[in-house]
Chain A
Amino acid sequence: MATHALAPATTAYRTGLYEWLTTTDHKKIGIMYVINSFLFFLIGGFFALGVRAELAQPGLQIFSDEHVYNEFFSIHATVMIFLFIIPMLAGLGNYAVPLMIGAPDMAFPRVNALSFWMLPLGGLLLLSGFLTQGGAAAAGWTSYPPLSEVGPTKSPGPGQDLWIVALTLIGTSSILGGINFLVTIFKMRAPGMTLFRMPIMVWTILVTSVLVVMATPVLTSALVMLFIDRNYGGHFFDPSFGGNAVLYQNVFWFYSHPAVYVMVLPAMGIVSEVLPVFTRKPLFGYKAFIFATAGIGALGFSVWAHHMFTTGAVFLPFFSLMTFLIAVPTGVKMFNWVATMWRGKISFSTPMLFAVGFLAMFLIGGINGAFSAAVPVDFALHDTYFVVAHLHYVLFGGSVFGVFAGIYYWFPKMTGRLLDETLGKVHFVIMIIGFNLTFFPMHMLGLQGMPRRIADYASNAGWNDWNLVASIGGFIIAASILPFIWNVFISLRNGKIAGDDPWEGNTLEWATSSPPPPYNFDRLPEIRSERPLFDVRHGRLDHGDATA
Chain B
Amino acid sequence: MSSSPRRRIAPEAVIAAVVVILLVVLVPLVVYSKIGESLFPPDAVTKQAQDVRSLYNIVFAIAVAIFVAVEGLIVWSVIRYRRKPGDDELPAQTHGNTLIEIIWTAIPTVIVLFLFGLSFNTLATVDAVGNNPDIRIHAVAQQFQWTFEYLDQNGNKVATQTIPTAAEGGGMAVPVGKNVLVTLDSPDVIHAFYVPRFLFKRDVIPGQTNRFQFTIDPSEATDGHPEILSGQCAELCGTGHRTMLFNVIAMSQNDYDAWLQALITKSNATPPPAPSVGAGATLNVTAQNIAFDTKSLTVAAGQPFAIDFVNKDPAGVDHNIQIRDASGNVIADPPLTDGGQSATYTYQALPPGTYTFICKVHPIAAMTGTLTVH
Contacts and interface: CB of A to CB of B under 8 A. Distances in A.
Interface stretch (B116-124, B260-268, B269-277, B345-353): B116-124
Nearest to A66: B239
A285 B201 contact: no
Chain B CB within 10 A, most for which of A60, A153, A328, A339: A153
A374 B93 contact: no
A384 B201 CA distance: 10
B359 interface: no
A324 interface: yes
17 contacts: A152-B288, A153-B239, A154-B238, A243-B207, A245-B207, A279-B81, A331-B108, A346-B82, A347-B82, A348-B78, A384-B234, A449-B42, A449-B197, A453-B241, A456-B242, A466-B38, A544-B95
Interface stretch (A92-100, A201-209, A358-366, A397-405): A358-366
Contact of B236 (A140, A310, A331, A373): A140
Nearest to B112: A324
Contacts of A341: 74, 77-78, 81
A188 interface: no
A374 B55 contact: yes
Interface string B67-96: 100110110011001111001011111111
A367 B63 contact: yes
Contact of B91 (A240, A280, A325, A375): A280
A344 to B, nearest CB: 5
Interface in B87-115: 87, 89-98, 100-101, 104-105, 108-109, 112-113, 115
B239 A548 contact: no
Interface string A438-466: 00000110011101111111000100001
Contact of A60 (B95, B197, B365): B365
Given A288-B101, A331-B104, A343 B234 contact: no
Contacts of B73: 338, 342
Interface in A235-286: 239-240, 243-246, 279-282, 284-286
A144 B203 CA distance: 13
B307 interface: no
Interface in B214-254: 230, 232-242
A152 B314 contact: yes
Nearest to B64: A367
B207 A244 contact: yes
B137 interface: no
Contact of A284 (B95, B108, B232): B95
Interface string A299-320: 0000000000011110011001
A547 interface: yes
A64 B39 CA distance: 33
A400 B241 CA distance: 30
5 closest A-B pairs by CB: A239-B207, A449-B196, A374-B119, A454-B242, A345-B83
A285 B56 CA distance: 34
Contact of A380 (B56, B81, B105, B210): B56
Interface in A345-397: 345-348, 356, 359-360, 363-364, 367-368, 370-371, 373-377, 379-380, 382-384
Nearest to B184: A312
A154 B189 contact: yes
A368 B63 contact: yes
B62 to A, nearest CB: 8
A449 B194 contact: yes
A423 interface: no
Contacts of B62: 370
A311 B87 contact: no
Contact of A153 (B40, B67, B313): B313
B239 A338 contact: no
Contacts of B338: none
A418 B97 CA distance: 36
Contact of B242 (A324, A364, A380, A457): A457
B256 interface: no
A196 to B, nearest CB: 12
Chain A CB within 10 A, most for which of B118, B203, B206, B232: B203
A65 B81 contact: no
Contacts of B199: 376, 379-380
Contact of A245 (B119, B206, B365): B206
A284 B94 contact: yes
A223 interface: no
Contact of A312 (B63, B81, B208): B208
Given A66-B366, A324-B112, A331-B104, 8 more contacts: A152-B289, A153-B189, A284-B96, A288-B105, A310-B202, A346-B77, A373-B116, A379-B126
B52 interface: yes
B123 A376 contact: yes
Nearest to B52: A376
A332 interface: yes
A67 interface: yes
Contact of A376 (B82, B122, B207, B288): B122
A7 interface: no
Contact of B66 (A152, A246, A367, A383): A367
Contacts of A334: 70
A359 B51 CA distance: 33
B160 interface: no
Contacts of A382: 201, 234
Nearest to A283: B95
Nearest to B85: A347
B317 interface: yes
A334 B207 CA distance: 44
Contacts of A123: none
A67 B202 contact: no
B201 A332 contact: no
B41 interface: yes
A114 to B, nearest CB: 35
Contacts of B288: 152
A146 B208 contact: no
A370 B279 CA distance: 67
B364 interface: yes
Contacts of B207: 239-240, 243-245
Nearest to A371: B59
Nearest to A73: B236
Contact of B112 (A65, A279, A327, A363): A327
Contacts of B67: 363-364, 367
B192 interface: yes
B143 interface: yes
A375 B90 CA distance: 48
A451 B233 contact: yes
A546 interface: yes
Contacts of B92: 281, 343
Contacts of B234: 382-384, 451-452
